[in-house]
Chains A and B, each alone.
Chain A
């Protein structure tokens, strides 16, 4: 367990740094779709809920897990869907397919 814990902390630290670096470069133009996308990605918590329900360990766990799966899946589907709808709306007035606005 302790070695697992240390591994996990390393993963967390690295992922947090990657997150900061990657997201710092997101154009403010796209902050709303960024938030709905991270929301959809965050709903990956659904995997924990799936295991909880799937292992059928206790009736209360199944009930709680089912609600959790429903909540998270609605975020996955709704989040990707609305992010895509938003991004489709962003059009440039320039005829060429040049790189967009600067970050």
Chain B
């Protein structure tokens, strides 16, 4: 080792150290909207430093392809950064897939470069890297396809699905163990990657649309862990740190999502929600419901003092958030106190509703979390539910036989008046009937969310 080489190596390590610190600060500043944008800046500086430092690496002789690839990647990244806010969940899933693709490719190349002199420990983490990377790659692609509605959102299930899935995983792990012990048997390596890719597909196809927040978070965690494993393979502490941060972030979000649905990880991954309950939907049509016109709804809203709006995925689908903002503006001008109740799993990814409402220029201090607002519903004059269903279902509190019993919900039924904008009486994603709709204080507002809110706005004297 020449002194020159050692010196440049130290410089690179120090640069990585600074970059790691910046990454941690970047996440720390995300804790509040007032400091969050500093967080991005810290992350960007850290990233530029890390990439710049890597280019100083003594072993790098081929700059041409590196630069071409960096430019090409940036070119693809810009349109991916400009997607509509409603498309953010599928964009996020797609970027998990890209991250995992990178990790899997580097891991595979590393295997072929090092085999058969690959140390046992390196081979173990390398297997972890490609298995996690492979399943995250295809799993995220399937998730993105479901979110983009290229693939059916309904869970796709068949008999013995869980046994097939676990069997596949067991085979992949078994092969990996064999390769650790016999690194010269490189013909098995493509099989490991192939099974991981297949497993990713099988893992996500049985998962339905409403479980997407958990699945995206879980895939986020896997992507992080695979990057950390790559850090072990390449002996890069920077990668280990970034991967561990991402892995723990994804894990925390998945736990929050699971808790918000009163379900366990295993239940989300192997339960295929929405399958069991399809029969429960039949035979409920006879009960009477009360409905109202936009004009009546407008009169009720104008007479209220306190209004809580409960947005759900239906609002995103109908792209109704800008109309909702107009309604918010008009009511606020009339002196009505309007707030928004955000259920943790409303929408298709963690925080989805907040982003959509913020996009429509609704101030974020009006967006209230479930635990904080639930106590206020008894003093609320009108709860206006827009495109949300299961998260308002009182059966979760009262009906032990309900499949969603125990799930924390927004207690809209305790408001003086509840108004639900809905296309028809069809049950929600989970196929569960909502007793809320038959309550005496409930009014159904039948129609498309965007058009209906638009009509209310018109009736209130907007345009």
Contacts and interface: CB of A to CB of B under 8 A. Distances in A.
B354 A39 contact: no
Interface residues of B, number: 113
Contacts of A19: 27, 244-249
B34 A35 contact: no
B40 A82 contact: no
Contacts of A72: 73, 98-99, 102
B308 interface: no
A54 to B, nearest CB: 3
Interface string A64-100: 1111111111111111111111111111111001011
A56 B227 CA distance: 22
A64 B81 contact: no
B351 A74 contact: no
B65 A22 contact: no
Interface of B is mostly: helix
Contacts of B344: 28
Interface string A17-59: 0111011111111111111111111111111111111111110
B280 interface: no
Given A19-B248, A28-B342, A54-B61, A44 B109 contact: no
A68 B102 contact: yes
B80 interface: yes
A57 B110 CA distance: 10
B48 to A, nearest CB: 9
Interface stretch (B49-57, B149-157, B393-401): B49-57
Given A35-B253, A45-B227, A94-B365, A77 B81 contact: yes
Contact of B54 (A47, A93, A99): A47
Contact of B44 (A73, A80, A89): A80
A74 B73 contact: yes
A27 B227 CA distance: 25
B351 A34 contact: yes
Contacts of B245: 15, 18-19, 22-23, 38, 41
A56 B62 contact: yes
B334 interface: no
A40 B224 CA distance: 11
Contacts of A93: 363, 365-366
A28 B358 CA distance: 13
Interface string B17-52: 001000110111011111011011001101100110
Given A30-B30, A100-B364, 11 more contacts: A18-B245, A23-B245, A34-B350, A37-B40, A42-B99, A42-B223, A45-B230, A51-B234, A54-B60, A71-B105, A73-B73
18 contacts: A4-B235, A5-B121, A8-B240, A19-B27, A30-B30, A32-B355, A35-B217, A36-B88, A38-B27, A40-B47, A49-B69, A72-B99, A73-B77, A76-B47, A78-B77, A78-B79, A86-B358, A89-B361
